[in-house]
Amino acid sequence: MLYSSLLKPFLFKMDPEKAHHLVIDGMAACGKVPGLGGLMHAMYGVSPAPELGTELLGIRFPHPVGLAAGLDKNGVAADGFSSIGFGFAEVGTVTPKGQPGNVQPRLFRLPPDEALINRMGFNNEGADAMAASLSRRKISRIPIAVNIGKNKDTPNELAHEDYRACIKKLYEYGDFFVVNISSPNTQGLRDLQHGDELKKLLGAVMEEMGAQATKRGGAAKQVLVKIAPDMSDEQLEHTVATIMESRVSGIIATNTTLSRDGLTHKHAGETGGLSGKPLTRRSTDVIAAVYRQTGGKLPIIGSGGIFTAQDAYDKIRAGASLVEIYTALIYKGPGLLRELTSGLVECLRKDGYRNIAEAVGADHR
């Protein structure tokens, strides 16, 4: 109620990017102001539900609803997002060197469509800055994933070196890692999803993860690849096959879309990646296609257009073991986490499942 009646009207009167920074600064304060993290957890934290706890990638997740990458680009607010009810969170996308991203304005709200368009362009302070931020974490309630990318001025033939550099600097700070090759806002990046370039990139990533694990004397941390929703069926099939061959741990489906089907707002013509409700169906379809192709053997995190518990449950039944939100958080506020998790419990009980793992891929059985 506080968000919808007071905070949202205030934030939605501001420029979207300024509002974004205000929120991130506020969430970052949770790790700096004594007692604030506990207060936020009391206000918004999600009560444990045995049905929703799950283990994936060798990691225990309190429930399956996480934060997608893009909101906390520099890892400064990990304590805050750990305190408001998420089951896990992605930070980033981070690049080896800091970069300003694309020119402003570059973030647009489309309220009638419950959507966002962004063309941020991997604006971030760089891997060293993120390492410093994550090293100062005080709250460790949930797993944190580090989403990595390449700098804008790095040619695709050298992209693998950027991903290696991010892993070297951030390995000890992430519980798992996400390779972002699907943002539409860095020119040529999506070309890395296909053919020999993807094979070379993932080979380098897995080699570096192994090297870092050997250096520390433990098992390598898990890596997922984030894919686009705009591939043809044939392109998707080839991409998934390459990912499977690479020994990568899983797939995040999906990133933002270039489609503008059905939009009504005046910002519909803005370039960039579209997120929110218009992506709901397509991302679920991609999850189902990946699950079918992999026989359910490759873990999937579902992302794109989750606004209700049924949206999340549809993605789980399609094959996702975990799900992520972003745009819905902007439109509905942190109370959404309790709504989603309590709704998922009801969905499981209605279908007679004892836990979330039993529902994964149910539509294929």
CB-based contacts of 214: which residues, under 8 Å, 6+ apart? none
How much is the pTM?
Answer: 0.96
Cβ neighbours, 10 Å, residue 365: 6
Query: What is the DSSP pairing of strand 88-94 with strand 65-67?
Result: parallel
CA-wise closest residue to 166 among 180, 155, 153, 156: 180
What is the distance between the alpha carbons of residues 45 and 63, in angstroms, rounded to a whole number?
A: 12
CA-wise closest residue to 357 among 87, 53, 120: 53
Q: What percent of the chain has pLDDT over 90?
A: 86
Count how many residues are written for the chain.
365
Q: How confident is the model at residue 1 (pLDDT cuts 50, 70, 90)?
A: low
Residue 192, classed as helix, strand or coil, is: helix
Q: Domains of the chain, with CATH numbers?
A: 2-364 (3.20.20.70)
Question: Tokens 């205000």 sit at which residue?
Answer: 22
Taking a C-beta distance cutoff of 8 angstroms, is the pair 123, 73 a contact? yes
Asked which of 7-11, 101-105, 188-192, 281-285 is least confident by mean pLDDT, the reply is: 188-192
Whether 35 shows a pLDDT value over 80: the answer reads: yes
pLDDT one-digit tens code per residue, 73-132: 999 999 999 999 999 999 999 999 999 999 999 999 999 999 999 999 999 999 999 999
What is the distance between the alpha carbons of residues 223 and 205, in angstroms, rounded to a whole number?
A: 9
Whether 36 shows a pLDDT value over 90: the answer reads: no
Query: What is the DSSP pairing of strand 115-118 with strand 273-276?
Result: antiparallel
Higher pLDDT, 40 or 172: 172
Whether 195 shows a pLDDT value over 80: the answer reads: no
Question: Residue 121 corresponds to which amino acid?
Answer: G
Higher pLDDT, 36 or 163: 163
CA-wise closest residue to 178 among 249, 228, 121, 244: 249
CA-wise closest residue to 130 among 167, 157, 88: 167
Question: Tokens 């392109």 sit at which residue?
Answer: 235
Q: How confident is the model at residue 220 (pLDDT cuts 50, 70, 90)?
A: very high
Q: In the annotation, is 232 catalytic?
A: no
H helical segments located in 171-279:
195-216, 233-245
Mean pLDDT of 354-358: 97
Confidence (pLDDT) at 56: 96
pLDDT one-digit tens code per residue, 333-353: 999 999 999 999 999 999 999
Write out the H or E segment, with its range, that includes residue 274. strand 273-276
Sheet-wide strand order for 115-118: 107-110, 115-118, 273-276
Question: Residue 19 corresponds to which amino acid?
Answer: A
Confidence (pLDDT) at 358: 98
- Averaged pLDDT score across all residues of the chain: 94
The CA angle 339-341-342, to the nearest 5 degrees, is: 65
pLDDT one-digit tens code per residue, 40-77: 888 888 988 999 999 999 999 999 999 999 999 999 99
Question: Residue 197 corresponds to which amino acid?
Answer: E
How many H-runs (helices) and E-runs (strands) does the chain carry? 14, 15
Confidence (pLDDT) at 182: 83
Confidence (pLDDT) at 227: 95
Query: Which member of 182, 183, 246, 321 is catalytic?
Result: 183
